[in-house]
Amino acid sequence: MTVTDDLRCMGFSGGPLTFGGAWGRSVEQRGDSQFLVFEGVDGAVSTWTYGQFDDVVSRVAGTLSSRGVTAGSAVHMALANSPAFVAVWLAAVRLGAWVVPSDPLGSVAELEGHIRRTGPVVGVCASQRSDVYQQACGGIQAVQVDEQDPGLPSLLGDPFTSWSRPGPTDRAAVMFTSGTTGDPKGVEVTQANYAFAGRTMALAAGLDETDRQLVVLPMFHVNAQYYSFASAIWVGASVALMPSFSASGFLPQAARYGATAASLFAAPLRMILARGASVEGLRLRHCWYAQNITADQYSMVSEWFGCRPRQLYGMTETIPAVLTEETEDPEPSSMGRVTAGCVVDVQRPDGTSVDIGEVGEVVVGGKRGMTLFAGYLDDAATTEASFRDGWFLTGDRARRDDTDRHYFDGRRSDVLKVAGENVSVVEVEAVLAQHPGVLEAAVIGRDDEIRDELPVAFVVADPSTHPPSVADLNQWCTERLAKVKRPVEITFLDELPRTSVGKIRKFLLHHPGPARKPE
Q: Which helix (H) or strand (E) holds 217?
A: none
Q: What is the pLDDT along the chain (519 residues), one digit of tens a residue?
A: 454 555 554 555 667 899 999 999 999 999 999 999 999 999 999 999 999 999 999 999 999 999 999 999 999 999 999 999 999 999 999 999 999 999 999 889 999 999 999 999 999 999 999 999 999 988 899 999 999 999 999 999 999 999 989 999 999 999 998 643 346 799 999 999 999 999 999 999 999 999 999 999 999 999 999 999 999 999 999 999 999 999 999 999 999 999 999 999 888 898 899 888 999 999 999 999 998 888 889 999 999 999 999 999 999 999 999 999 998 889 999 999 999 999 999 999 999 999 999 989 999 999 999 999 999 999 999 999 999 999 999 998 899 999 999 998 866 566 788 988 878 787 898 899 889 999 889 999 998 988 889 999 999 998 878 899 999 999 999 999 999 999 999 999 998 887 544 557 787 888 765 555 444
Distance CA 208, CA 478 (A): 44
The pTM (predicted TM-score) of the whole model is 0.84
Q: How far apart are CA 230 and CA 381, in angstroms?
A: 30
Backbone angles phi, psi at 171, to 5 degrees: -65, 135
Quote the CA–CA distance of 170 and 162 in Å, as a whole number: 18
Helix extents (H) in 263-317: 266-275, 295-305
> Does residue 398 sit in helix, strand or coil?
strand
d(CA 502, CA 505): 9
pLDDT at residue 178, as a whole number:
60
- The pLDDT of residue 182 is 44
Q: What are phi and psi of 484, to 5 degrees?
A: -65, -20
Question: What is the C-alpha separation between 399 and 420, in angstroms, rounded?
Answer: 21
C-alpha to C-alpha distances, 135 to 84, 124, 139, 404, nearest whole angstrom: 22, 14, 9, 50
Show contacts of 253-256: CB within 8 Å, 24+ apart. Answer: 253/39, 253/214, 253/216, 254/214, 254/279, 254/282, 254/283, 254/284, 255/279, 255/280, 255/281, 255/282, 255/283
The DSSP output letter for 498 is B
Closest CA to 242 of 214, 204, 268, 263: 214
| pLDDT recorded at residue 461 | 92
Tell me which H or E stretch contains 263: strand 261-265
143 DSSP β-pair partners: 124
Distances from the Cα of 357 to the Cαs of 343, 353, 403, 407, in angstroms?
19, 12, 11, 9
- Which domains occur in the chain, in start order? 415-510 (3.30.300.30)
pLDDT at position 241, please? 98
